[in-house]
A and B are shown apart, each in its own frame.
Chain A
Amino acid sequence: MGWIGETVDSIKSIKIRQLLTQAVTLGMIVTSALIIWKALMCVTGTESPVVVVLSGSMEPGFQRGDILFLRMTKEPIRTGEIVVFNIDGRDIPIVHRAIEVHERKTTGEVDVLTKGDNNDVDDIGLYADGQMWLHRHHIMGRAVGFLPYVGWVTIIMTEKPIIKYILIGALGLLVITSKD
Chain B
Amino acid sequence: MHSFGYRANALLTFSVTALAFICAIASFSDKFSNQNPSAEIQILNINRFKKQSYGNDEVSLTLDISADLQSLFTWNTKQVFAFVAAEYETPKNSLNQVSLWDVIIPDKEHAKFRIQTSNKYRFIDQGHNLRGKEFNLTLHWHVMPKTGKMLADKIIMPGYSLPDAYK
Contacts and interface: CB of A to CB of B under 8 A. Distances in A.
17 contacts: A60-B104, A61-B144, A79-B83, A79-B98, A80-B152, A97-B81, A101-B96, A102-B96, A102-B126, A103-B93, A104-B92, A104-B93, A117-B81, A144-B150, A145-B149, A145-B150, A146-B148
B81 A102 contact: no
Contacts of A80: 81, 83, 85, 99, 140, 142, 152, 154
A54 B2 CA distance: 40
Contacts, number: 82
A146 B144 contact: yes
Interface of B: 23, 27, 78-79, 81, 83, 85, 91-99, 102, 104, 106, 121, 126, 140, 142, 144-150, 152, 154
Nearest to A62: B144
| Overall SS of chain B's interface | strand
A99 B122 CA distance: 11
A151 B18 CA distance: 18
Given A79-B99, A80-B83, A143-B150, A102 B93 contact: yes
Contacts of A105: 91-94
B97 A101 contact: yes
Contacts of A97: 81, 142
